[in-house]
Amino acid sequence: MERISRAIKRLDFDEKIDGSARYCADIKPEGMLYARTLRSEKARARILAVKIPPLPEGYFIVDHHDIPGKNIVPIVLEDQPFLAAERVNYIGEPIMLVVGTDRQVLEEILAGVQVSYEERPPVLTLEEAVAPQQEYIYGDKPYFVEYRTSRGSLEEARAGASLVVEDEFRTGYQEQAYLETQSVLAVYAEERVTVYGSMQCPYYIKEALVQALGWSEERVRVVQLPTGGGFGGKEEYPSLVAVHAALGAVKSGRPVQLVLERSEDMAATSKRHPAVIRIKSYIDDKQRIIGREIDISIDAGAYAGLSSVVLQRMTFSAGGVYNIENIQVHSRAYATNQVVCGAFRGFGGPQAFFAMEMHMANIARKLGVDSLDLKRKHFFHRGDRSSTGGLFQHDIKLDEIVSEIEQMSAYREKKARGREGGDKLRGIGCAVFFHGCGFTGAGERDLLKSKVRLKKYPDGTVEIFVASTEMGQGVLTTLRKIVAAELELPLQNVIHHYPDTDSCPDSGPTVASRTVMIVGRLLQDCAREIKERWSEDEVDLLREYVYPDNLYWDNECLRGNAYPAYSWGANVVEVKIDPLSFELDVTGVWAVFDVGTPIDEKIVRGQIEGGIVQGLGYGGMEVMRAQQGRLQQTNLTTYMVPTALDFPPVESKLIYNPFEEGPFGARGLGELTLVGAAPALAQAVEDAIGCQLQQIPITPEYIMELMLDDQDD
């Protein structure tokens, strides 16, 4: 492994970077038209009529009548229309587009469109969704999907318990807040449509275009442009805007650009799922947790979207990093008339780990022991089995991770110091967590079957062809480094462009902390073969992922290895709180992660800092609420996201623990870095104010409420 590390580090040099990029909104092909979207103003209603004002010459509309194929977005359960036809189910649902040459004129036309609705009683909260209804939003039940997993016997746990601890935790929406809004450009020429845009998953979009247009795959091309951030928000949603723009391009025969305004983007695109998580733990007289019941409810919004997959990951993460012999998890994704929720960095893990880490801290308080000592007593180790019965086959270095972060942060000393510190209340908290790398269950085996292509040219250069996208996480660097290191080539001899479905095979979506581990390993294997055939002028290889023989998954019973591998981590956060203004100030942040071998340490550090700040924003400041189905925070003034001045520098360290099945020992990284920040912050606040928290984000108003209630008691 030392040779591998040297080979990777040898490529850590700065390439010439000029800082230029042409984003979708920068591209103006000749004859281009603009598109704007008419969206529902009602949370739940039938559409009775749409009255369109007289259109100037050269302007036209696109609605569901212009969809020659199937008017359903191809995502898992397939219930969401590209354009509403007879009914709308949330405020912001797209009904039609107006297309033309002048954006101001488009706004005037939109203002003149009149939609007549027959309103229906909307379902706007999880509590309303659970209650019996005369007319469910989705079929004959209030939820889209339901999961149950179990291990051991809860009856035995109940019989052996001397203490039962029960908690309920709530989390809210989170907005991805990418710098570049949803943006696409569609071009129709020679009986083909090409969509260029800001995206994470080109083949998702291609499938959507094929379905909406009813065309063969050969007539559809998707090309990623430089993408100004995604964080999951550009996984499934671009399928909608891509189809919208393509319909306009096909109808007009001219290029059509659709770029969402910030307020429109925030009001209508997918968010992180709000969740209510209830946990009941059974503890014996030796202070061992012998059983656990977990109930999860998430607000999926008006359509199923990716909620079934998000809920799976939340279900598999709900038990935390703790080896509990008897555990049962029951989870449901409920339908409401709110904005559709979907992918967001961590994909259900942040909600689950917030609840579990807070619950463990509460158990420790009731037992009168240190929470970190209680956690260590129950850590998973190699050879244990997960809540789904999957065997942990690789080293789990949680004890080393926690020892390292305790030393870095002086956690014990600060914990012993207490919460009083001058005129401020001080506290410190620690969260321990994992993130499963790759798609859940049989996703990598059956659903994706990822493919990569690697080509060696006569001049000695090698080109990477994959559908994995660059959205700021460093794919264009890390995948080149893997290939260059294996072939012992200078980095500049390896070419890697943004993906184009005409030349790149389907490598699967750029999600689930899978790109380096899955796609990178396939490229490394290709590079090894090319190395053996280097004397040939040209070598063009295509390789497909093969599910490892040592893994097992039963999708019907949700039993076996939920993920091909796991990454592990711990965060410590230190805070001080003004007891008069209740203002929260983060004074220290520490992180230790095990992600195998880092392919590029600069990129890894950037991911650590960015992910932790995003997680602290989720836990401490990003408030997004809806009133009567309408989101109240729809710009970056009313929705507060962290800046570089809001938190101190992150002190981080990596634990070296190579994963033999990853490229040069690498595992997933990007999502792991967000997962533990919010629970570490919340535990620090609890430590400072001496009150138990049950929800995030932790605003000054919430802190004030807790402290005043505590005084009253």
Is a pLDDT exceeding 60 seen at residue 533? yes
The reported pTM is 0.96
**H helix intervals, 506-586:** 520-532
A 10 A CB-CB count for 348 gives: 29
**CA-based radius of gyration for the chain:** 26
Measured between alpha carbons, how far is 443 from 562 in angstroms, rounded to an integer? 9
Q: How confident is the model at residue 657 (pLDDT cuts 50, 70, 90)?
A: very high
Q: Please report the pLDDT score of residue 2 as a whole number.
A: 47
Measured between alpha carbons, how far is 311 from 73 in angstroms, rounded to an integer? 20
Q: Please report the pLDDT score of residue 209 as a whole number.
A: 98
Q: Are 113 and 286 in contact (CB under 8 A)?
A: no
Q: What is the mean pLDDT of residues 321-339?
A: 98
Domains of the chain: 30-120+186-262 (3.90.1170.50), 275-440+558-712 (3.30.365.10), 450-544 (3.30.365.10)
Q: Which two tokens stand for residue 449?
A: 């079957």
* Least confident window among 124-138, 177-191, 529-543: 124-138
Q: How confident is the model at residue 9 (pLDDT cuts 50, 70, 90)?
A: low
Summarize pLDDT for 357-376 with one digit per residue, the tens. Answer: 999 999 999 999 999 999 99
Q: Please report the pLDDT score of residue 7 as a whole number.
A: 52
In the predicted model, what is the mean pLDDT of the chain?
A: 95
Measured between alpha carbons, how far is 711 from 705 in angstroms, rounded to an integer? 10
Q: Please report the pLDDT score of residue 135 as a whole number.
A: 82
With tokens 């090319």, the residue in question is 530
Q: Please report the pLDDT score of residue 138 as a whole number.
A: 83
Our CA dihedral for 212, 179, 469, 500, rounded to 10 degrees, sits at 50
Q: Please report the pLDDT score of residue 3 as a whole number.
A: 45
Measured between alpha carbons, how far is 260 from 182 in angstroms, rounded to an integer? 6
Q: How confident is the model at residue 709 (pLDDT cuts 50, 70, 90)?
A: confident
